[in-house]
Amino acid sequence: MKGWTGRFLRVNLSEQSTSVQEYEPSLARAFLGGRGFAIKILWDELRAGTAPLSPENILVFMAGPLTGLPVPSSGKLVVAAKSPLTSGYGDGNLGSRAAVMLRRAGYDGIIIKGASDKPVYLYIENEKVEFLNADDLWGMSTFDTEKKLSETHGKDVGILCIGPAGENLVLYANVHSQEGRAGGRPGMGAVMGSKKLKAIVIRGTREIETANPEELKRLGEEGYEEIKKKPNYDFWRRQGTMATVEWSQENSVLPTFNFREGEFENADKIGGYAMEKIKVLQRGCPYCNMICGNVVEDAEGKRVELDYENVAMLGSDIGLGDLKKISVLNRLADEYGIDTISVGNAIGFAMEASEKKLLKEKIEWGDFDAAKTLLEDIVFKRNDIGRLLANGVKYAAEKLGNNSKDWAMQVKGLEISAYDCHFAPAMALSFGTSPIGAHHKDAWVIAWEVQVGRESYTREKVAKVIELQRIRGGVFECLTACRLPWIELGFELDWYPKFLKAATGMEFTFDELYRIADRIYTLIRAFWIREFRGRWGREMDIPPARWFKEPLTKGRYKGKTLDLEKYNQMLSWYYEMRGWDERGVPTKKALKDLGLENIITELEKIITLK
Ligand code: PTT
Ligand code: SF4
C-alpha cells in the first residue's frame, strides 16, 4: 500500500504486550482512515455494553492517508473510544507532532486494550515499544508532563498525554499535546486515565511511502502558496478562531448565561481585538502555514493559547467579561486536561442552579474566583458539587431534578459547544444529529444559515447539514487533515482528491468520498443503537427544552425560540435523506446500499429493522 502504512500497532496494557497488525487494503478503501478506522474497529471489536472505564474499553488513536505528509495542515489525528460521558461513540481530533511521528514510526493507528495496574506511559520508536513507569508523572499537569517527557526523550518526539482530570476519571477529561492542542471531548482522557496510561511518546524516523512523492511535493507547495493568497489569510493569522466572538455577538448566537441569551454586554472585551492586545506568541499544528494558536498572557502572568470555544464557554456563558481572567480558567483547563466546553457548561449550569436555589453553594454569574474554585472542585472531585459536575450536566440535572434537565445544555450527554440556537434551526439540527453528541465540528452550518435566513425550517437546510457532515465529519475526519484551510479561507475542496491520488495512487471521486462518509455515519449510528438497546429513540436527537420553551429576553432577536413541531419535521426529513426510519434507525436497504449488510444480523438482535 502507498499513502497508508497499512499497519496498526496493537497494545495490551494488562499483559504489557504489543503486536503489529497488517490490515487489508479493502479497509482503507471502505473507511479511508481516522474516524472511519476508529468506528470500524470499535464496532468489530468492542463488546456491546462494555463499561467505558473498564479495561475492556478500547482506545484508538487513528491517522489517515494524508497525516504527516507535506500538504497543508496534515498534522492531525483522531482519538476515539466508547465514551464514559455519553455511553455512545466518542471521538475528537487534535493537532500534534505525535500524529506525524506515528506515521513516521510506520503505523496508521494504535489500538489500546486492557489496563495497567500502575501508571505507565508508552514509548514508541519505530518497531520498539516500551511500557515505562509513570509513577513520577502521575498527578502532573499536562504542561509539566510534556516538559518532563521531552527532557527525557528529546524535543523532537511527539507526545499525547492526560492531566489530573483524566487520572481522576472526570467524564469530560480530554487528551492534550503541545500546550494548546486538545481533543476527545467526550471523555477520551478519562478512558486513558482508567487504563492508567499517562502518556504516549512517539519517535518515528521512517519515510512515509507515497505513490508519487514528486507530485505530492509539487501539489503541497502549490497548496501552501494558494492558502497564502487567500484574502482572509493575514487576518486569520492575526486572530484565528477568536474573531468568531465578534461574529457570534453580531448574530446573537454567543452563548450567554448558560445559553439563556445570545448576546453578551461585554463581548467586545473578550473578542479577537481584545485578544490581539494581550497576545505574546503564535504557534500551531505541524505542517500548517495558518498557525492559529494565539498565545496570551493571563491574569496570573502565565501563558495560554486561546480559541473561540474556550473563551465563549468560560466567558460569556458564565457571565465573565475579563479576557485575562478567562485565560486563567482556560489555562487551568489545559493544565488539568479537562474539556473547556463541557466545564464551561458545568460552571454555567451550577451558577444557574445556585440562582434558582437548587444548590446550597452561592456561585454568582461572572464570579471568577468561584468559577476557578469550582473548576478545581470538579477536576479533583473534592466535594459534593465537584463530584456531581464531574459527571456532566445531564447527570447533574438527573440528580437535581426540578426540571433542571430543561436547561442542562447537552445532547446525548455531551455538553453543547458555543452557538446559541434559539433562532438557528439548522444549527440546532446539527447539534441534535452530531454523531458524538452536541458538538459543532461535524456541521458548522450556522454561518450559512445566517446568510440564507434563520426563520425557515426547510428540506434545503437539512440537506446542507448532511452535506457538511459528509465533508467535515466524513472527509476531513478520515483524511485526517485540518478543515480550517477550507472552511475559514476557502481553500478549495478539489485539492484533496489530488493530494489523495498523489499519496495513495488511487482516484477518489467526491461521490465515493461522500459514500464513505455516509457509511461511517451509519455505522456510528448503529453503534449508538447497539449500546442503548431498548433505550434508543428519536428524543436522543432533540436539543434541550430551553431553546424551545424559553424565548431570548434581549437583543435583536428578543422573543425568538425554536419550534418543536417544525424541528421534528426537519428531523424526519433528515432521517429520510439518510435512509433511516422515523426512530432514527438505519433501514435494511440503507445498510445494504452502503455495504454494511454484514451488521444487519447483529442489529436485528437488538431492534426490529425496517
Ligand atoms: C475540540 C474542541 C474545540 S473545537 C475547542 S476550541 W475550536 C476546545 N479546545 C480545547 C482546549 O484548547 N483546551 C481544553 N482544555 N479543552 C478544549 N476543548 C475544546 O475542544 C483545534 C482546532 C480548532 S479550535 C477547531 S474548532 C478545529 N477542529 C477540527 C476538527 O475537529 N477536525 C479537523 N479535521 N480539523 C479541525 N481543525 C480545528 O482544530 P475535539 P486542536 Mg481539538 C486548548 O478535538 O474533541 O473535537 O474538541 O484539536 O489541535 O486543539 O485544534 O474553536
Ligand atoms: Fe492547527 Fe490552526 Fe493550522 Fe488547523 S489552522 S492545523 S488548528 S494551527
pLDDT tens-digit map of 125-162:
999 999 999 999 999 999 999 999 999 999 999 999 99
Residue 448: is its pLDDT beyond 90?
A: yes
What is the average pLDDT across 517-529?
A: 98
Nearest CA to ligand 1 atom 36: 482
- For a mutational test of ligand 2's pocket, the pick from 77, 290, 295, 480, i.e. the residue with the most ligand atoms closer than 8 A to its C-beta, is 290
Mention every residue, 6+ apart, whose C-beta is less than 8 A from residue 207: 104
423 with 404, same domain: the answer is no
What is the average pLDDT across 335-346?
A: 98
> Regarding beta strands 7-12 and 17-22, do their DSSP bridges make them parallel or antiparallel, or are they unpaired?
antiparallel
Average pLDDT, the chain: 98
Residue 477 lies inside a defined structural domain of this protein: yes
Quote the ligand 1 centre to 29 CA distance (angstroms).
Answer: 27
Residue numbers of the domain that contains 448: 419-490+509-610
Nearest CA to ligand 1 atom 7: 309
Residue 499 lies inside a defined structural domain of this protein: no
536 with 551, same domain: the answer is yes
Half-sphere exposure of 429 (CA within 13 A, CB side): 34
Residue 74 lies inside a defined structural domain of this protein: yes
Provide φ and ψ at 18, rounded to 5°: -140, 160
Ligand closest in space to the Cα of 313: 1
183 with 112, same domain: the answer is yes
Please, are residues 587 and 581 in contact by the beta-carbon 8 Å criterion? yes
What is the average pLDDT across 353-368?
A: 97
**pLDDT band at 49, cuts 50/70/90?**
very high
Residue 338: is its pLDDT beyond 90?
A: yes
Give yes or no for residue 310 CB within 6 A of ligand 1.
yes
CATH of the domain at 557: 1.10.599.10
What is the average pLDDT across 499-520?
A: 98
356 with 449, same domain: the answer is no
**Where a domain ends, among 156, 181, 203?**
203
309 with 405, same domain: the answer is yes
Residue reference for cell 466545564: 343
What is the average pLDDT across 76-89?
A: 98
- Residue 35: predicted pLDDT: 98
What is the average pLDDT across 24-49?
A: 98
Residue 534: is its pLDDT beyond 90?
A: no
- Residue 333: predicted pLDDT: 98
Give yes or no for residue 183 CB within 6 A of ligand 1.
yes
254 with 392, same domain: the answer is yes
373 with 260, same domain: the answer is yes
Q: Which of 75, 8, 64, 55 is nearest to 32 (CA)?
A: 64
Nearest CA to ligand 1 atom 47: 183
- Residue 184: predicted pLDDT: 98
Q: Which three cell numbers stand for residue 306?
A: 486561546
554 with 569, same domain: the answer is yes
pLDDT in tens, 285-317: 999 999 999 999 999 999 999 999 999 999 999
Give yes or no for residue 246 CB within 6 A of ligand 1.
no
Is 0.85 topped by the overall pTM? yes
Ligand closest in space to the Cα of 309: 1
Nearest CA to ligand 1 atom 37: 482
- Residue 206: predicted pLDDT: 97
Ligand closest in space to the Cα of 176: 1
What domain count does the chain have?
Answer: 3
Nearest CA to ligand 1 atom 50: 181
Please, are residues 220 and 72 in contact by the beta-carbon 8 Å criterion? yes
Residue 229 lies inside a defined structural domain of this protein: no
Sign, CA torsion 233/235/239/241: negative
Residue 231 lies inside a defined structural domain of this protein: no
257 with 319, same domain: the answer is yes
What is the average pLDDT across 30-47?
A: 98
- Residue 15: predicted pLDDT: 98
Mention every residue, 6+ apart, whose C-beta is less than 8 A from residue 99: 63, 67, 68, 75, 76, 77, 158, 286, 480
Task: State the first-to-last Cα distance of the chain, in angstroms, to the nearest integer.
Answer: 38
173 with 99, same domain: the answer is yes
327 with 438, same domain: the answer is no
> CA-CA distance, 237 to 203, in Å (whole number)?
29
Share of the chain above pLDDT 90, in %: 100
**Where a domain ends, among 376, 395, 418?**
418
- Residue 195: predicted pLDDT: 99
* Low-confidence winner among 4-8, 98-102, 534-538, 582-586 (lowest mean pLDDT): 534-538
Residue 227 lies inside a defined structural domain of this protein: no
Give yes or no for residue 166 CB within 6 A of ligand 1.
no
Residue 235 lies inside a defined structural domain of this protein: no
- Residue 348: predicted pLDDT: 98
Residue 225 lies inside a defined structural domain of this protein: no
- For a mutational test of ligand 1's pocket, the pick from 236, 244, 310, 488, i.e. the residue with the most ligand atoms closer than 8 A to its C-beta, is 310
Q: Which three cell numbers stand for residue 29?
A: 478503501
403 with 475, same domain: the answer is no
Residues with CB under 6 A from ligand 2: 73, 95, 284-285, 288, 290-293, 482, 484
Sheet holding 59-62, edge to edge: 17-22, 7-12, 109-113, 59-62, 76-82, 89-95
Quote the ligand 1 centre to 402 CA distance (angstroms).
Answer: 33
Mention every residue, 6+ apart, whose C-beta is less than 8 A from residue 473: 35, 434, 435, 441, 442, 443, 517, 520, 521
CATH of the domain at 319: 1.10.569.10
Nearest CA to ligand 2 atom 2: 292
